[in-house]
Structure 1
């Protein structure tokens, strides 16, 4: 009897459940790539919506003030696309960012609650179709020669609301299929969809930005709509939907999804669990201040109030009581402020500093997202090894603040220096952001106090990312207000935000370090 070919042997070495997990990993990755792909065009097109006016401008050298030339007809403006061709264009472009992100922040709190009460596949599919429509609608302004500021603002608001369907849905799916064994590494790899989407969005939008910027929005709108069809046809929300072995009906055992080697590991009987003093090393350091590292949670009943054996959706206040949710949410507010300021304003900054056109600036800005991929993976590996999520985020935030100041100075020294600093800043800025929105959210959404209520994951994820989205809305707005006074002020604002993010983690960092010290002393004795 002949031996199996190596390829077939490799395929058959994986179980049915493992193949489903890999498929869900890839599918949810691609789905959220399309979300970020559709958000990126606005940052690329900014350089086309407002161009540097021709030499007909008068410059007051004494005060360094540009005096706007005589007003031209809307179709004859050489300073960009009306109404963004005016001298206050930075504030107008900032208003577009703020409209989208403010709607996204408000909608995120609602999205998690709604998402728990609807089938994820239908909810996500509908959101992707709507996102494709409103993304393309912004581009229709070019083809139909629309110059009303309110048209673009309303389109951004609508798009911000519908895009909130994405994150809670995909995180819930990936959290259902993968456990805490190597969650930091797995979700660090998975979260690279953010950077991959930004890169693809930059390249697609940049291809048409100079010739026909309307297509920079229409094409991504079509792509996310097509991915919505894929979502409807193939998304598997939970292992139990495929009758996987991970769903056991036995009252004496509890299924546990482990992300390292096997799909399931049967936990000891519930009675043994109650008498055991062992706590999950990833979660026991996120307990409230008045509890020790080895004591079980005393407020489980408060968190589970309103739940029926893990089948009902958790309340908003119940999710807030989970240890660590408030601290990580506030930390993400400032971390996301920094990340989204780069997302929306980096191409315009490169255009002004390096004097490149919109396409080249957009291509160069993708290096920030390349660095973000490595930063997210590195944060996941470190946090898995140390078993300390807050400490890992704190270390990267501590290094990021002075690095941002270095970027503002070094990026003016030349093209090569800008490339290096973009990679470094991308890793340090997006590392904590990626870790909190993925592994930390999944950890807290599957906290032991929830007794296996997987439906709570959507609400917890929405609270954390929704709070972060408040910072994402404030960052670009503040950048638009501060940039006319000089880009240095924008970087000072970003450094302060990173410092604030670190401050909100200090209590959790202290708790994690104290737990490690107590465990070391216990082993020594």
Structure 2
């Protein structure tokens, strides 16, 4: 059994209304929610600061006191753009967007590699230690990026190295929190609850934009240092208060029948001691972890992983480049652009919750993802084409686009990962969940690395033509992601039609006209399902 954290001895004295197990489930949900919120909060600064590292300096005079830093830039360099005399070297040349895109790529590629490794390690160590260490280390390396401002560092390799190390430690978060939540909530319809829980992604982006935006036009180094302290502090809280397994504190294990309290004098009806029966249950740490290849063989893992590749490509391109896009097209300040970009995440919060709700209601996560991706494809193009018309149109389209872009991303990374990680083929091996979630999110993160990198390549001059190419790429990515879901959608429609045929009317008497009418309705429903399958998906038989 994992060592009980010190903070539990304080928490156990808190007043608990109603069911004790339910109270601790809520406690774990809130704690993991706050933990991953700080992960995303600490990822956002680089997207906010880009507008300062490479800025249009024509708005400043040479002796303007409002310049957010003292620039060091060689004006006689062949790469110098006269309008970038105030840029932070080495991001002042004509290749600035490519360099900034390379920072995103380095970070996210390291994050993707770290994700696969973290899933493997997370199943074999105490997740409380692993998660808290990862958060503290992430905070340190996030702050180190900001120290380039205070130490007057202008080496591109410094920024690249800091991003790579930071990405590796940031990867400790997702497999850990998903596995912990699954330990407490088990199987069943959890799309809605995980959809609400997954709003930590968008909330972290919003808070990260706001926190980084406070300092970006004054001293951009603090835009990294402050978020670094926040996630590091949260790591200490996780170390002190996180409880990994319900059995660690004698809560009822998930997916099992109720277990009475471990009173040594309490016996069941057959005379067997209850506490001895509890002791005979398999301990979580005794369960053998699944291999990487074994996780890939779980039905649906490959399709959802590839779909998430394209979903995260779009989502993370918005995450890292939306403030720069708003600043470039709307000519607002960097702080204002960071604030406006949060509306995309507000839409994403609602989209994630709604996708989880639909998934629970219809039990068809692939279909929900497919529909969201199909709708999102034209929306990203429309946002770029018509978002400039007015401020109201811009923020409305931004929120709606965020709703459909983040819906499938949130659903796949939470409910789908948890469901596949507890697939019947695993025969109850809950330890597979960290590896499954790492494979799915790790593959998605490779897409998240490719998107921002391609943005820098397609839009080197930060102009309208370049942004047109970027949004065309995003629309194409949404379509490809939807196509990857077709096989899973067909399977879900088949299952839906199969369930509709297994119907017994409430009144089964031979002469009962109402019961016969009900049966006819369901027979008609079966015919409709078969017709849809044959005509839409072109399935024979």
With normalisation by structure 1, the TM-score equals: 0.82
The whole-number CA distance in structure 2 between the counterparts of 1:454 and 1:181 is 14
1:356 pairs, out of 332, 335, 348, with 332
Equivalent residues in 2 for 1:444-455, closer than 5 Å: 444-455=420-431
Are the counterparts in 2 of residues 398 and 502 from structure 1 also a CA contact under 8 Å? yes
Equivalent residues in 2 for 1:83-482, closer than 5 Å: 83-246=90-253, 255=256, 311-482=287-458
1:515 pairs, out of 485, 488, 495, with 495
The whole-number CA distance in structure 1 between the counterparts of 2:475 and 2:365 is 22
- Provide the secondary structure at the position in 2 that maps to 1:413: coil
Aligned counterpart, 1:270:
none
The whole-number CA distance in structure 2 between the counterparts of 1:331 and 1:195 is 20
| Greater mean deviation of Cα atoms: 482-491 or 118-127 | 482-491
When residues 245 and 50 of structure 1 are mapped into structure 2, their CA distance, relative to the original with a 3 A threshold, is same
* Structure 2 residue 27 is matched with structure 1 residue 23: yes
- Provide the secondary structure at the position in 1 that maps to 2:147: helix
* Structure 2 residue 48 is matched with structure 1 residue 39: no
The whole-number CA distance in structure 2 between the counterparts of 1:368 and 1:387 is 27
String of CA shifts for 1:9-56, please: whole Å, max 9, x gaps.
xx7652111110000000000000010000000000000001113289
Are the counterparts in 2 of residues 310 and 454 from structure 1 also a CA contact under 8 Å? no
String of CA shifts for 1:124-152, please: whole Å, max 9, x gaps.
11101110110000000000000000000
Q: CA deviation at 1:309?
A: 11
Superposition RMSD in Å: 2.2
When residues 24 and 521 of structure 1 are mapped into structure 2, their CA distance, relative to the original with a 3 A threshold, is same
Are the counterparts in 2 of residues 310 and 450 from structure 1 also a CA contact under 8 Å? no
| Greater mean deviation of Cα atoms: 459-468 or 48-57 | 48-57
2:481 pairs, out of 501, 513, 516, with 501
The whole-number CA distance in structure 1 between the counterparts of 2:185 and 2:256 is 12
- Provide the secondary structure at the position in 2 that maps to 1:412: coil
Are the counterparts in 1 of residues 33 and 197 from structure 2 also a CA contact under 8 Å? yes
When residues 407 and 44 of structure 1 are mapped into structure 2, their CA distance, relative to the original with a 3 A threshold, is same
Are the counterparts in 2 of residues 83 and 147 from structure 1 also a CA contact under 8 Å? yes
Q: CA deviation at 1:245?
A: 2.3
Q: CA deviation at 1:79?
A: 3.5
When residues 12 and 198 of structure 1 are mapped into structure 2, their CA distance, relative to the original with a 3 A threshold, is closer
Aligned counterpart, 2:11:
none
- Give the number of aligned pairs: 448
Are the counterparts in 1 of residues 17 and 23 from structure 2 also a CA contact under 8 Å? no
Are the counterparts in 2 of residues 140 and 214 from structure 1 also a CA contact under 8 Å? yes
String of CA shifts for 1:205-249, please: whole Å, max 9, x gaps.
0000000000000000000110010000000111111111227xx
The whole-number CA distance in structure 2 between the counterparts of 1:12 and 1:340 is 40
1:489 pairs, out of 461, 469, 478, with 469
String of CA shifts for 1:169-228, please: whole Å, max 9, x gaps.
000011111134440110000000001000000000000000000000000000011001
Are the counterparts in 2 of residues 310 and 453 from structure 1 also a CA contact under 8 Å? no
Are the counterparts in 1 of residues 54 and 84 from structure 2 also a CA contact under 8 Å? no
The whole-number CA distance in structure 2 between the counterparts of 1:234 and 1:159 is 24
Structure showing greater Rg = 2
Aligned counterpart, 2:268:
none
Aligned counterpart, 2:67:
none
Are the counterparts in 1 of residues 187 and 422 from structure 2 also a CA contact under 8 Å? no
The whole-number CA distance in structure 2 between the counterparts of 1:411 and 1:17 is 48
String of CA shifts for 1:355-403, please: whole Å, max 9, x gaps.
0111000000000000000000000000100000100101111111011
- Provide the secondary structure at the position in 2 that maps to 1:83: coil
Are the counterparts in 1 of residues 308 and 441 from structure 2 also a CA contact under 8 Å? yes
- Provide the secondary structure at the position in 1 that maps to 2:162: helix
The whole-number CA distance in structure 2 between the counterparts of 1:150 and 1:38 is 21
Are the counterparts in 2 of residues 115 and 458 from structure 1 also a CA contact under 8 Å? yes
With normalisation by structure 2, the TM-score equals: 0.80
Q: Structure 2: which 5+ runs fail to align?
A: 1-14, 62-72, 259-283, 504-521, 524-541
